[in-house]
Amino acid sequence: MSITTIFSLLGGLGFFLYGMKLMSEGLEKAAGAKMRSILEFFTKNRFIGMVVGIIFTAIIQSSNATTVMVVSFVNSGLMNLMQASGVILGANIGTTVTGQLIAFNLSDIAPLVVIIGVVMVMFFKEQGVKKIGEVILGFGVLFMGLSIMGDSMAAVKESPRIIEFLSSLTNPFAAILTGFAITAILQSSSATVGIILLMVSQNLLDFAICPFMILGCNIGSCVSALVASLSGKKDAKRAAMIHFLFNVIGSAIMFVVLLLALRPFTDMMLYISGGNLARAVANVHTLMKVVEVAMLFPFMGWIVKATYRIVPGDDTVSAEDEYELPFIGGGKILSSTTAVVNGIAEIEHMGRVAMQNLKVSMDVLCNPDEEKIKEVYRREAYIDYMNRKITDYLVRANELVLPIADERLIGGLFHVVNDIERIGDHAENFADSAKSRLEQQVPFSDKAKRQLQELNAKSVKILEYSLEMFKNRNYKHMEEILQLEDEIDAMEKKLQNSHVKRLTKNKCTPEAGMMFSDTISGLERVGDHATNIAFAILEPASSMDDDDED
């Protein structure tokens, strides 16, 4: 076999893998956010989750992407293990669609598909059209790669050594190991099945050994999710382990079946495929997956329980890292499709912590207590920590290929993190005032305390509404937020005027007056930040009030 043939094989494989990548990423960018929402909504029931997993994986052409996404959902707490198990089952069936498409052998029209994709990518300005163009381009490139590999494999027939090696591949265990190794390297069972399909159609590989190689593909497809889960929480590791156990147990059962009835099985597959070897390989892949799912579906509860034995214990916060980030963990992004979702969840958590600090800081200002002051400072340090970690996370997410809808959101998320951090600073300022009151014995009248508590209650309420609006990305509380914003502004002006009158009549000390004035100004700024948060990802970031003078 000449060096030219080797280069052609590798080049064809490169086109094939790149085409698959373009298809998968194009679909994720064009419709990833909508499909993600469907995945979240329809996975409450395991059977429905399985159906959604089939459809989802068939669309994005990658069980690896689906499984890693599921691991990411579990890691962030948006999906439990039983829900994840249904989607993982569906992904195993959905991944066989790629083999069925490849079996159609559309190489003759691949150049036309490529030029259509290129035109859509280069000459259309709308992002949605461009992404669909990438999908079409990927589809065409995939089949062009297959065509190049097919032509190169025709030359392989002239190499006695390779023919001898492939002919000697009759040991089922060796075939499984080969399928596993190729899939683990290529990170795609669909790609491996495509290569097997091509080799069989070129008579380079005996059809009878293909089912065993496909079993190896099934196990090799678990590698991506297992690797992705290493940096996740224990439940994320368990979700990846569900995928692994399902494939290993299912493959073991099918292995026994094949050993007992290989010839009847292969004869049946050739018969229902009309003698078409390529179609027969694709049908073997599909049928084996369907049978595995049908056999193991009733026992998924046991498999989920087994993962708790394999991955025991609960997640704990180490002494070196006293602050917990429940949704983004160590900051590693498991899936680009869920990166923004997890970021939003973590930002909302940060907002809840800031809101709690706002409540405590006002209580301690009105009724100074040294331990509660320290509590505010500790929580503020946590907020600052989250600010740094979430910002770093968003920077990395912004460098990824994200769904179009998420690309539009991520700029606003930086502003939200900044606004929440500013709210935390105001709470810290209130704690500083409380500390001064305690040290200097600065008196506050009961009326002043009531006024501060009333204004703070409005600030906490607007922040609560804003976080809800931010989390759910809707306008549900828009009227309440706008009304509260007006009430806070009006109350701040009223209290400032009253404060000036009290000072002129010597009804309060200058120290108390300064603290009171600074506090109500701070609470008014909290209302502004809360309003920014509410509308940050519903409007372009540039239209927001950056509030840099705070």
Q: For tokens 């994840």, name the residue.
A: 84
Look up the CATH architecture of domain 336-543. Answer: Up-down Bundle (1.20)
**pLDDT at position 105, please?**
75
| Rounded distance between C-alpha atoms, residue 259 and residue 251, angstroms | 12
Per DSSP, helices labelled H in 333-369 are 336-366
Higher pLDDT among residues 24 and 303, named by residue = 303
What pLDDT, in 10s, does the model give residues 439-459? 888 888 888 889 999 999 999
| Rounded distance between C-alpha atoms, residue 16 and residue 143, angstroms | 7
C-alpha distances out from residue 42 to 46, 76, 79, Å:
9, 18, 11
Q: Which of 179-188, 407-416, 430-439, 454-463 has the lowest mean pLDDT?
A: 179-188
The 3-state DSSP class for residue 104 equals coil
Per DSSP, helices labelled H in 446-509 are 446-472, 478-504
Contact in structure between 73 and 40 (CB atoms under 8 Å): yes
Q: What is the pTM of this model?
A: 0.75
Domain spans of the chain, in order of start: 3-310, 336-543
Distance from the Cα of residue 329 to its chain's centroid: 13
| Rounded distance between C-alpha atoms, residue 327 and residue 405, angstroms | 20
Q: Has residue 96 got a pLDDT over 50?
A: yes
Higher pLDDT among residues 105 and 275, named by residue = 275
What tokens were used for 374? Answer: 């320290």
Q: Nearest Cα to 530, choosing from 485, 479, 473?
A: 485
Q: Nearest Cα to 16, choosing from 136, 185, 184, 191?
A: 191
Q: Nearest Cα to 473, choosing from 36, 144, 2, 148?
A: 36
Higher pLDDT among residues 402 and 271, named by residue = 271
Q: Has residue 545 got a pLDDT over 50?
A: no
Task: Report the amino acid identity of residue 434.
Answer: A
Q: Has residue 460 got a pLDDT over 90?
A: yes
Give the model's confidence band at 542: pLDDT under 50 very low, under 70 low, under 90 confident, else very high: very low
DSSP 402: -
